[in-house]
Amino acid sequence: MASTDTPSAGTPSPGSSSSGTPSPDSHSPHTASEFDRASVQKVLDAARAAGRTGLTATEAETVAEAYSIPTPAQGLATSAEEAAALAARIGFPVVLKIVSPDITHKTEAGGVVAGVTTEAAARDAYATVLANARAHQAGALIEGVQVQRMATEGQEVLVGAVTDPTFGKVVAFGLGGVLVEVLEDVTFRLAPVSPGEARSMLDSVRAAKVLRGVRGAAPVDREALAGLVVRVSQLAADFPELTEVDLNPVFASADGVLAADLRLLLGDERRRERPHFTDEEILTSMRRLMEPRSVAVIGASNEEGKIGHSVMRNLVDGGFTGGIHPVNPKARRVLDRTAYASVLDVPGEVDVAVFAIPARLVPAALEEVGRKGIPNAVLIPSGFAETGEHALQDRVVEVAREHGVRLLGPNIYGYYSPWQNLCATFCTPYDVRGGVALTSQSGGIGMAVLGFARTTNTGVSAIVGLGNKSDVDEDDLLTYFAQDPHTRCVAMHLEDLKDGRAFVRAARATVPEKPVIVLKAGRTAAGSRAAGSHTGALAGNDAVYDDVLRQAGVIRAPGLNEMLEYARALPVLPTPQGDNVVVITGAGGSGVLLSDALVDNGLSLMEIPDDLDAAFRAFIPPFGAAGNPIDITGGEPPSTYEATIRLGLDDPRIHALVLGYWHTLVTPPMVFAELTARVVAEARARGVHKPVVASLAGDTEVEQASAHLFAHGVAAYPYTTEKPVAVLGAKYRWARAAGLLP
Amino acid sequence: MASTDTPSAGTPSPGSSSSGTPSPDSHSPHTASEFDRASVQKVLDAARAAGRTGLTATEAETVAEAYSIPTPAQGLATSAEEAAALAARIGFPVVLKIVSPDITHKTEAGGVVAGVTTEAAARDAYATVLANARAHQAGALIEGVQVQRMATEGQEVLVGAVTDPTFGKVVAFGLGGVLVEVLEDVTFRLAPVSPGEARSMLDSVRAAKVLRGVRGAAPVDREALAGLVVRVSQLAADFPELTEVDLNPVFASADGVLAADLRLLLGDERRRERPHFTDEEILTSMRRLMEPRSVAVIGASNEEGKIGHSVMRNLVDGGFTGGIHPVNPKARRVLDRTAYASVLDVPGEVDVAVFAIPARLVPAALEEVGRKGIPNAVLIPSGFAETGEHALQDRVVEVAREHGVRLLGPNIYGYYSPWQNLCATFCTPYDVRGGVALTSQSGGIGMAVLGFARTTNTGVSAIVGLGNKSDVDEDDLLTYFAQDPHTRCVAMHLEDLKDGRAFVRAARATVPEKPVIVLKAGRTAAGSRAAGSHTGALAGNDAVYDDVLRQAGVIRAPGLNEMLEYARALPVLPTPQGDNVVVITGAGGSGVLLSDALVDNGLSLMEIPDDLDAAFRAFIPPFGAAGNPIDITGGEPPSTYEATIRLGLDDPRIHALVLGYWHTLVTPPMVFAELTARVVAEARARGVHKPVVASLAGDTEVEQASAHLFAHGVAAYPYTTEKPVAVLGAKYRWARAAGLLP
């Protein structure tokens, strides 16, 4: 139970010391600073000293009290008579539960009798509970029997916390009861949460409406419920050894909240061992990696087909104007440049050493890189952890730490930094400069990134392979991309995060400036984790990833192609200034599908005011449909598209345009593309920046028209009504996460 | 209530005649033939005669009895004493409800008191209910007060039926209670349903697990519940005027089902007026439309830019070898062919008249088409219902009916029948023959179909514009495509169905032979229908479409691009013979994403038996991962791809292959494509037909490689791990719907 901090006379504070006297239901407000951490630590230490992983009811009550977790009125009885008297004072119905440090699973031990409605029944229940417990475990130490008021009023919810392998402590909120347990309607956030984040959790469950009152029920006390979530999240965050906290059910009503059952599990307090760099340290080495003046290639070769040859060729052919230093003990020159026997022989400072030698030779060469004072080693070779060679990888990491060298890879294709004309990779070169920075954990996905970028002519600021992530990972790169003026959007393919909290920190710092798109693979594998609580069972790996990435403001791409399409389009689209989306279409059929897609993407069709409706009507045939979508009808000349698009751009009440083009002889595809590009450019010259996306339905000429539009700032796609709206939706999601929309 | 058919002594049959004597809970089994339709008709007729749209509790009980709908024990009391006695005999708790034909909303009238647990309370409740009812409506005719046992045990579910504007009577099943009402966890089927369909409904709700017993609860009696769904569906089907039936809640438990509340609404029995053709009649005219020997073009023109010119040009250039007869009173010849002043002047039989004249001239010309005995008129012109000219369209339909002419359109681009070299359209010609028949309601979507087909070189058996669907619609075409030997897959874009039941009939006849893909636009608009019941409120237009299309075995495409991709791939892929899918990948990263996609598409990775695992391991490097996905690793030569793919094809336990290719210098894209095409062809030559799909990650050469694979029977895509699996998933969905999989 949790009483007020200063127990009033007549209602003594509860716990094992308050045997026989019930504590009242408590709802007192607390602030974080008021938490009684010392009492909790004492309870936890005692349990650990006794070698237990669970807490007794009495211990749980102490924790609840310390963190102002309201529990039903209760007390500890040590005789049947005391139980009956306690029950009478508390008020029926009550539930009786055995209190024993030796009995973890009370229900299985027959140690719980619920629904007790009379004093006589309470006496019987006391005897039953005791007898069952003794039968279950003969020598169990029994402190007594907890008599607790049964909470039944209100909506059942679940509040809990678990220790996630990636993100550490996360707090959970869900709707309780059988149905929602089956539907797993639960949401997670990094612990601790602010009151605002806790309130957002109440709205994040699918059945959120229930909390606002349905079927005439009064809405629950949201402040009390959010406050409880905050306190549970703080409790979990304060005690690393508290691996699972499970309040299930909590009864939430208009009058407040009451945690009918608390389950607390203790575990190992594992601390990640990971070198921590400051942002400045990260930036210093990342800048030298991404904007090097001089690069050495360890294992540079004149022999075609060798990786050391491809890397040299790409560096030279890519037009990198800094130093390119081949290192090869057997060659005097490589690709017409002086080769050195050792990197130690290279004159002057070197920023990056690219490794193109077999895995087993890496440690020795890395030693030399360290002695040369090169801050970055790019380890292309495979044959490390991914092939089971963990010891070799550990050795490499050790050498790097000794010398303060940061490692990219191993097991990667290398990396591209187009604004530096840098192709430090054995793959094909890429030179279209632009605003997208892409990273991939897998080489295969990296190749898909490259091919997609080339075929769509996507402007890129970086493509980086991360491979085994023995050192440099997503948060290091994000820290760099956040401040890189060329990068306007970051897209990352990842299978895991070495340090979820570091990633969230970096993402939160980046998102206000530029969108961060993540393709998290291994979504549905949802490793079955051993879990000792409901919250634990619900915290499948992906559920936590999904909620925490959203909490960090990241746009999660559902698949590879979506990640690529978002990355291509987001830097092209201006940020919307409001929620009013208007569809202008030459094909009514496309208008319907575009409207479907808008709803699918959480966007809504603007309600067009009468004057604006009249203004649109002036341009379209009488049988066309104004409203929204605005159906200009199929047979219209270029001037109708032009006039309506211009009106859409100029009216300040409209914030985004979705265009549906229909290929006709009157307005051929390239005519539409050119007029739209011109009208959009004119508007931008007038200072009007609105996102415009387009779906082009027609014969194959619409492909060229779409490319033309894309090159002129309109995200346009042939043969699909879904993609243009999906990228607009992603832009809106980012704008909201960045706080740029109301 | 529903008693057994033959009331036993001491428990007289209930209803208004049984005042004061309770009927027992009833669970008697019935067959359809035993339904007492006459009693229901009598009740409904009486209510209608009285101008009521609702039924009283007593009337509802009669209906329940007639259709063996089990209801809690109840009876009618006409005095407080009788109510108390009745309650005592029934057993507490009871609920008392006013019975009055004049009071529809009992609760609002204060006419319901629930939770009555004593005789005294029953007396009070009787008085309260009566007083409230009189206060609510002074002159209301009051038959008495219903005393009913309160059902509380078991899982709350909802069983109902509504009249859908497209599909007519549909039956609904959902989980009751506040939460699932909020989550709208409900499923629909065309009424009446078979017991098998009813059972499938129990598994179709998201929280289906609840019915199988969770948290230690016993599973509900599924047979009883399915039986109830069958009987409610039969009731709705038997009485067209019964527009809504709502059993909510029904309490389902291990002991059976009990409908605690019945709501029945009467409405207008509207019958669709639609000419009905037999399949033979449909086929006769559709064959002449799609395989004509002779076509007349009304409004054929020599003037470029005119529709009548484009149609003539496409017919001639398309290579149609049948008769092409221009009709134009002002020309002697059109495109070097004899022109006729009237279609009546054309010599010999004509199968199709294509109209390329202004809308207002259509009726007169159609009159001549009718007199000539031409069975099909293809109405390209717009300017009919879509522009508000309903009267003109009605006139055209009337003329057509008079003469037995079937109408395609108006307001369409025309149609293509590539196997006949027929391009009866003003759009660009298309000549790639193949197995896909595509139809679109909208012209814009039709143009997207054309462009997509051309750019992907998709083999087509038909492209047909449906436009305003004044006559010919999807079910006519489906009837033709079902028996057309060239058509192996049908894809239809539609915004509505004129006759949902006719479509379902045609789809059901087609699906066992070939897949039917539907893109239903207007998905999310979900017109807000006025609804008088829970079931009605849940039956948003799209929810019913979604369930009924699935019931018909149709594959619903979520968007335009998916429809096009499914249509392209499904005829290429052989039908899988079982559920065992194996992923073979060169890129571990693709393997993870392909696995995600498999789960998303309801497919599962085969558990690889030990001997098969060993067989795969023999081909891959020791650090590669067998299991599933089989990761052959990135640096492997063509022989590794070849050996593992061949093994995947040859082992009879494997039913489908998903390939993940990674572009490397060792195995370039076209090498992979050619070897895979060859291995697949060799397997087919040995009689091994398994679907194989592929995701190609790499530089732009993977585009050509994907095209090569597609042309050789492997559905392959660059830069996406989602599409190959989505089309495989669609093929599996069809195979299941067609009954070709266990």
Same domain, B565 and B609: no
For residue A236, with 0-12 CB atoms within 10 Å meaning exposed, 13-18 middle and 19 or more buried, which class applies? buried
B341 touches chain A (CB under 8 A): no
The verdict on a CB contact (< 8 Å) between B559 and A382 is no
In this complex, the residue of B589, B665, B722 whose CB is nearest that of residue A561 is B722
| Neighbouring-strand partners of residue B517 | B491, B555
Question: What is the distance between the alpha carbons of residues A245 and A171, in angstroms, rounded to a whole number?
Answer: 9
Same domain, A317 and A440: yes
pLDDT the model gives residue A103: 84
Give backbone dihedrals phi and psi of B584, rounded to 5 degrees, phi first: -120, 120
Interface test with A, best of B445, B556, B564, B595 (most A CBs within 10 A): B445
Residue of B nearest to A635 (CA): B382
Residue of A nearest to B520 (CA): A593
The verdict on a CB contact (< 8 Å) between A182 and B596 is no
Those of residues 380-399 in B touching chain A at CB distance below 8 A are 382, 386-388
On the CB side of A336, CA atoms within 13 Å amount to: 4
Quick one: chain A helix, strand, coil %, rounded to 5? 40, 20, 40
Four-point Cα dihedral A482, A487, A490, A492, nearest 10? -100
Structural domain count, chain B: 2
Average pLDDT score, chain B: 90
Give backbone dihedrals phi and psi of B349, rounded to 5 degrees, phi first: -75, 140
Question: What is the distance between the alpha carbons of residues A555 and A549, in angstroms, rounded to a whole number?
Answer: 8
In this complex, the residue of B445, B634, B719 whose CB is nearest that of residue A564 is B719
Question: What is the distance between the alpha carbons of residues A615 and A637, in angstroms, rounded to a whole number?
Answer: 18
- Close Cβ partners of B644 (under 8 Å, ≥ 6 residues apart): B584, B616, B619, B620, B630, B632
For residue A316, with 0-12 CB atoms within 10 Å meaning exposed, 13-18 middle and 19 or more buried, which class applies? middle
Distance from CA of A154 to the nearest CA of B (A): 12
The verdict on a CB contact (< 8 Å) between A444 and B662 is yes
Domain boundary residue, one of B539, B569, B599: B569
Same domain, B306 and B356: yes
Same domain, A429 and A328: yes
In chain A, what residues touch B185 (CB-CB under 8 Å)? 183
Question: What is the distance between the alpha carbons of residues A582 and A98, in angstroms, rounded to a whole number?
Answer: 64
Mean pLDDT of B571-575: 96
List alpha helices for A435-559, DSSP H: 443-456, 474-483, 500-510, 534-538, 541-551
pLDDT the model gives residue B539: 60
Distance from CA of A423 to the nearest CA of B (A): 15
Residue of B nearest to A307 (CA): B665
Express each pLDDT in B373-383 by its tens digit: 999 999 999 99
In chain A, what residues touch B558 (CB-CB under 8 Å)? 722
Residue of B nearest to A383 (CA): B623
pLDDT of residue B13 exceeding 90, the answer is: no
Q: How confident is the model at residue B399 (pLDDT cuts 50, 70, 90)?
A: very high
Express each pLDDT in A173-225 by its tens digit: 998 877 777 888 899 999 999 999 999 999 999 889 989 988 778 899 999 99
Same domain, B557 and B647: no
Four-point Cα dihedral A97, A99, A101, A104, nearest 10? 0
The verdict on a CB contact (< 8 Å) between B443 and A663 is no
The verdict on a CB contact (< 8 Å) between A445 and B564 is no
Question: What is the distance between the alpha carbons of residues B2 and B111, in angstroms, rounded to a whole number?
Answer: 23
Question: What is the distance between the alpha carbons of residues B737 and B648, in angstroms, rounded to a whole number?
Answer: 26
Domain membership of residue A263 (yes or no) is no
B595 touches chain A (CB under 8 A): yes
In this complex, the residue of B180, B561, B589 whose CB is nearest that of residue A521 is B589
In chain A, what residues touch B522 (CB-CB under 8 Å)? 592, 595-596
The verdict on a CB contact (< 8 Å) between B525 and A183 is no
In chain B, what residues touch A697 (CB-CB under 8 Å)? 444-445, 447-448, 451
Q: How confident is the model at residue B24 (pLDDT cuts 50, 70, 90)?
A: low
B370 touches chain A (CB under 8 A): no
Express each pLDDT in B490-517 by its tens digit: 999 999 898 999 999 999 999 999 999 9
Domain membership of residue A394 (yes or no) is yes
The verdict on a CB contact (< 8 Å) between A593 and B210 is no
Average pLDDT by stretches of 10, chain A with 742 residues: 35 40 51 80 93 88 95 92 94 90 82 89 94 89 91 87 92 84 89 96 92 85 97 96 92 93 84 77 96 98 92 95 96 95 97 97 98 97 90 97 96 96 92 95 91 95 96 96 97 92 96 96 52 55 90 96 97 96 92 92 93 94 83 89 97 98 92 98 97 96 97 97 98 96 84
Domain membership of residue A154 (yes or no) is no
pLDDT the model gives residue A139: 86
Those of residues 178-237 in B touching chain A at CB distance below 8 A are 178-183, 185, 206-207, 209-210, 214-215, 217
Q: How confident is the model at residue B269 (pLDDT cuts 50, 70, 90)?
A: low
Q: Strands, DSSP E only, in B335-454?
A: 337-338, 352-355, 376-379, 406-408, 414-417, 422-425, 433-440
Query: Which range among A30-39, A260-269, B442-451, B567-576 shows the weakest confidence by mean pLDDT?
Result: A30-39
As a whole number of Å, the CA-based R_g of chain A is 32
Q: Do A597 and A551 form a contact (C-beta atoms < 8 A)? A: no
In chain A, what residues touch B623 (CB-CB under 8 Å)? 386-388
Among candidates B499, B505, B550, B544, which has minimal Cα distance to B523? B544
Domain membership of residue A696 (yes or no) is yes
Interface test with B, best of A438, A445, A463, A584 (most B CBs within 10 A): A445
Structure tokens at B48: 């209608």
Residue A304 CB: number of other CB atoms within 10 A?
9
Structure tokens at B331: 């020309």
Express each pLDDT in B289-340 by its tens digit: 999 999 999 999 999 889 999 999 999 999 999 999 999 999 999 999 999 9
Residue A188 CB: number of other CB atoms within 10 A?
29
Question: What is the distance between the alpha carbons of residues A453 and A418, in angstroms, rounded to a whole number?
Answer: 12
The verdict on a CB contact (< 8 Å) between B214 and A178 is yes
Question: What is the distance between the alpha carbons of residues B555 and B516, in angstroms, rounded to a whole number?
Answer: 6
Interface test with A, best of B447, B545, B664, B706 (most A CBs within 10 A): B447
pLDDT of residue B635 exceeding 70, the answer is: yes
Domain membership of residue B587 (yes or no) is yes
Q: How confident is the model at residue B355 (pLDDT cuts 50, 70, 90)?
A: very high
| Neighbouring-strand partners of residue B402 | none
Residue A154 CB: number of other CB atoms within 10 A?
21
B541 touches chain A (CB under 8 A): no
| Neighbouring-strand partners of residue A77 | A145
Domain boundary residue, one of B519, B545, B569: B569
User: What angle, rounded to 10 degrees, do the helices at B541-551 and B500-510 form?
Assistant: 30
A625 touches chain B (CB under 8 A): no
Domain membership of residue A84 (yes or no) is no
Domain membership of residue A198 (yes or no) is no
Q: How confident is the model at residue B20 (pLDDT cuts 50, 70, 90)?
A: low
The verdict on a CB contact (< 8 Å) between B177 and A179 is yes
CA dihedral for A184, A188, A194, A197, sign (positive or negative): negative
Question: What is the distance between the alpha carbons of residues B566 and B180, in angstroms, rounded to a whole number?
Answer: 33
Question: Dmax over Cα atoms in chain A, in whole Å?
Answer: 99
Same domain, B704 and B728: yes
In this complex, the residue of A493, A524, A587 whose CB is nearest that of residue B444 is A587
Question: What is the distance between the alpha carbons of residues A203 and A211, in angstroms, rounded to a whole number?
Answer: 9
A588 touches chain B (CB under 8 A): yes
Distance from CA of B126 to the nearest CA of A (A): 24
A304 touches chain B (CB under 8 A): no
Domain boundary residue, one of B522, B548, B569: B569
Cα separation values, A259 from A113, A135, B366, Å = 18, 29, 77
A525 touches chain B (CB under 8 A): yes
The verdict on a CB contact (< 8 Å) between B662 and A718 is no
Same domain, A443 and A410: yes
Same domain, A365 and A392: yes
pLDDT the model gives residue B742: 76
Specify the amino acid at residue A304.
E
B602 touches chain A (CB under 8 A): no
- Close Cβ partners of B550 (under 8 Å, ≥ 6 residues apart): B556, B737
Structure tokens at A517: 């798109």
Q: What angle do CA A349, A350, A354 make, to 5 degrees?
A: 170
Same domain, B304 and B359: yes
B634 touches chain A (CB under 8 A): yes
Same domain, A562 and A595: no
pLDDT of residue B655 exceeding 80, the answer is: yes
The verdict on a CB contact (< 8 Å) between B451 and A178 is no
A441 touches chain B (CB under 8 A): yes
Q: How confident is the model at residue B540 (pLDDT cuts 50, 70, 90)?
A: low
Domain membership of residue B201 (yes or no) is no
Residue of A nearest to B725 (CA): A559
Query: How many residue pairs bridge chain A and chain B with CB atoms within 8 Å of each other?
Result: 250
Interface test with B, best of A719, A721, A723 (most B CBs within 10 A): A719
pLDDT the model gives residue A104: 74
pLDDT the model gives residue A626: 74
Same domain, B635 and B495: no
pLDDT of residue B529 exceeding 70, the answer is: no
In this complex, the residue of A428, A559, A662 whose CB is nearest that of residue B447 is A662
Question: What is the distance between the alpha carbons of residues A436 and A490, in angstroms, rounded to a whole number?
Answer: 6
In chain A, what residues touch B427 (CB-CB under 8 Å)? 699
ipTM: 0.90
CATH number at residue A523: 3.40.50.261
pLDDT the model gives residue B14: 39
pLDDT of residue B524 exceeding 90, the answer is: no
| Neighbouring-strand partners of residue A738 | none
Q: Whole domain around residue B630: which residue ranges?
A: 581-737
Give backbone dihedrals phi and psi of A469, rounded to 5 degrees, phi first: 50, 50
Percent of chain A residues topping a pLDDT of 90: 75
Same domain, B588 and B562: no
In chain A, what residues touch B561 (CB-CB under 8 Å)? 719-723
pLDDT the model gives residue A487: 97
